Amino acid sequence: MKKDSQYMYKCLQLAERGRGSVEPNPMVGCVIVAGGRIVGKGWHGNFGGPHAEVEALRDAGSAARGATMYVSLEPCNHHGKTPPCTEAIIAARIRKVVIGMPDPNPEVTGNGADRLREAGITVVEHVERERCEALNEVFLANALQNRPFILLKVAQTLDGFIAAQKGTSHWITSEESRTEVHRLRSLYDAVLVGAETIRKDNPSLTVRHIDGRNPWRIILTRSWKLPLSSAVFTDEAKVRTIIVTSKKSARENAAVVTKMRKQGIRVVDVTTDVMEFASLKSMLTRLQNDFGIRSILVEGGAEVFSAFIRARLADRLDVFTGPKIIGQGRGSFSALRPLHLTDAHRFHVEDVHQMGGDVYMIMRPAKED
């Protein structure tokens, strides 16, 4: 089993090479092992291109006969942009296939493994499944929940404030932490903030300090108290700015909506208050289906953080804590206000490390008992 895990880690390393090129498909890596050594390797390199298994078989050539294949995702058994990988595996006379995670599509999950077994191939499943699923967490949210993957990024003081009483927040965390945030922005399709963040901080929400693509910028607003001179409405990236509001607010501010749209800024209206669950869920589905947005980095403020936590729409929570105490200010999740500790929203800590002078914690929602 230890060897199986080692080879699956290699699959994951290969799969990572497809990041940014294969979406909306999952990242997949594959190695073929014979006589205790890797004789073929492959990964899904671009959307619509050959799958990892086919690339690995091509790399292995005749050495694939009687060998063991390791692949991070269950081989497909249907015709899509490419032929079924199962048939290529069978034709190559692979003896055994070790699979990391099943295909998440409920209509086809298990079909690939079953087809291989029918052909007399030994199949081992769920090797390093959690790691394989973590690599494709965005794909899983898209496929299973029909919405983008949501990461909440919080920069706070030791006592849990994201800004001082007068609203100042520059800078709570270190330069190293801020650079990491820009790296995250470059990996996500969109950055989302509330209108208050635009009013108080006038952020550009672009990628700086590192090389990387600029994400879509999404702003949630109830009142349309948005300065039209804000960076997100006037810079070169303004055509990748989306304002989300309620239908009622859009009607009441029709002139402003028209002006924004003439400038190339998109406006999405939802049925009810933008901070309510139904509106958030509807918004996320529309952002995925209409704009191809499959991952969102939520950067604040407190009301927005609280809304996503309350709606249980946060898939991951990254907290950067700077070594400062201010005593009073705007709490990171101050809009939640649970009456009892038993009402708390629980998370489990996945990773903790120091970044500059800060503590960086990566968390995910705790599984309910």
> What does the pLDDT look like over 271-306, one tens digit per residue?
877 778 778 988 999 999 999 999 999 998 899 999
> What does the pLDDT look like over 125-183, one tens digit per residue?
999 999 999 999 999 999 888 899 999 999 999 998 998 877 777 789 999 999 999 99
Domains of the chain in sequence order: 1-138 (3.40.140.10), 146-365 (3.40.430.10)
241: which residues sit within 8 A by CB, 6+ positions away? 216, 217, 218, 219, 232, 233, 265, 266
Segments of the chain scoring below 70 in pLDDT: 1, 369
Active site residue 53: yes
Instruction: Quote the Cα angle for 147-153-9, to 5°.
Output: 70
DSSP 145-166: HSS-EEEEEEEEETTSEEE-TT
Q: What is the pLDDT of residue 369?
A: 59
Q: Which helix (H) or strand (E) holds 280?
A: helix 277-291
Token code pair at residue 322: 């700077």
Q: Kindly tell me the burial class for residue 255, based on how many C-beta atoms sit within 10 Å of its own C-beta (0-12, 13-18, 19 or more).
A: exposed
**Residue of 16, 23, 53, 276 marked active site:** 53
Q: What is the pLDDT of residue 340?
A: 78
The Cα–Cα gap between 100 and 282 comes to 32
Residue with tokens 């209108």: 195
